[in-house]
Chains A and B, each alone.
Chain A
Amino acid sequence: TQLLEQSPQFLSIQEGENLTVYCNSSSVFSSLQWYRQEPGEGPVLLVTVVTGGEVKKLKRLTFQFGDARKDSSLHITAAQPGDTGLYLCAGESGWGKLQFGAGTQVVVTP
């Protein structure tokens, strides 16, 4: 059972468009992490958010943690084909013990 719900499950956009992926939970987590996973590879950490209301930027990616630390969003500006991948959010419920959402598959076409 996934305690973290991600939406949408799949997103296909054209290069240059913007997109937002959501991660929602009924539980409070001490921190929330976003990963990107490509086929045949393990997830790679993009960012960790810890404080409610926190906003972090990583080039064209903007991550936000909800005030109540139960939800988060990932916004990509001017998406590029290299942004294609499975985006996973994960809440930390113990040292290194992560609860992952099912992921959002993002496809950016040239």
Chain B
Amino acid sequence: GAGVSQTPSNKVTEKGKYVELRCDPISGHTALYWYRQSLGQGPEFLIYFQGTGAADDSGLPNDRFFAVRPEGSVSTLKIQRTERGDSAVYLCASSSDTGELFFGEGSRLTVL
């Protein structure tokens, strides 16, 4: 499709497990962002990629969270030793030179 694609749309896991969330940005968009939205809150910035490199990862809450974008297109957000507090909707967005962010539908993560 033409929009940002995120998989899985829903993920239920147990506390302590490892999780990967995938984002496929709009073709040609060089910038990619991960945000996290908890229930009743606005999205919270996690990390921003320009090409293959993480230009700003200041929003990652701790070292259990890691994201990669090895070929400058698809990105994977990785969460180790998941905790119940990690439960949220993880949103990916991409942008071109205009800077306008286009968001995907998100991946809803539930940690039991």
Most buried by B among A96, A99, A101: A96
CB pair A45–B44 under 8 Å, yes or no, is: no
- Given A42-B91, A96-B99, A97-B48, A103–B105 Cβ distance below 8 Å? no
B45 — nearest CB in chain A belongs to which residue? A97
Contacts of B17-45 to chain A: CB distance below 8 A = 31, 33, 35, 40-45
Whether B63 is near chain A, meaning CB under 8 Å from some CB there, is: no
CB pair B31–A42 under 8 Å, yes or no, is: no
Residues on A with beta carbons closer than 8 Å to the beta carbon of B44: 100
Q: Mark A94-107, 1 if CB is under 8 A from B, else 0.
A: 11111111110000
B58 — nearest CB in chain A belongs to which residue? A97
Chain B, interface size category, equals: 20 to 34
Whether A110 is near chain B, meaning CB under 8 Å from some CB there, is: no
Most buried by A among B4, B59, B95, B101: B101
Provide the bound-state CA to CA distance between A44 and B103, in Å. Answer: 7
Interchain CB contact (< 8 A) of B42 among A41, A42, A88:
A88
Q: Mark A23-45, 1 if CB is under 8 A from B, else 0.
A: 00000000000000000111111
Contacts of B86-104 to chain A: CB distance below 8 A = 91, 93, 95, 99-101, 103-104
| Residues of A bordering B, CB below 8 Å | 2, 4, 40-45, 48, 88, 90, 94-103
| Residues of B bordering A, CB below 8 Å | 4, 31, 33, 35, 40-45, 48, 55-56, 59, 91, 93, 95, 99-101, 103-106
4 shortest interchain CB distances as A-B pairs: A42-B103, A100-B42, A100-B43, A88-B42
